[in-house]
Amino acid sequence: MSLEKLVTKYMHSTEHALGELEIADRPVLVNVADLQRVVDLAKDYFKDAEYYREKGELAVSLTSIAYCEGLLDALRLLGGVRFEWPTSR
């Protein structure tokens, strides 16, 4: 699949999700088990990024690492985890 088609595919899926998205109208509590599940998913995306980079599939690697970073940022914004990105990013 070309990089253009890959980007289009992810943008279409994301656009759909954003169109369906509803903001909760009450405080949201997340338990530790759910936080750990999302951290584990982020780690899996990181491993995928490494795997696809080694195979030379850089577009898939980029997508995987972007998912990983997005999950980590979301967890941090929710106050579920603490970390700092390196300043030389």
Q: What pLDDT is stored for residue 3 in this prediction? A: 79
pTM of the model: 0.79
Domain boundaries, the chain: 3-77
Mind listing the pLDDT tens digit for each residue in 11-58?
788 889 879 988 888 887 889 999 999 999 999 999 999 999 999 998
- Token digits for 47? 């491993």
What are the residues whose beta carbons fall under 8 Å from the beta carbon of 61, sequence distance 6 or more?
Answer: 48, 49, 50, 51, 52, 53
Mind listing the pLDDT tens digit for each residue in 60-72?
999 999 999 999 9
Query: Which CATH number is 3-77 given?
Result: 1.20.1270.90
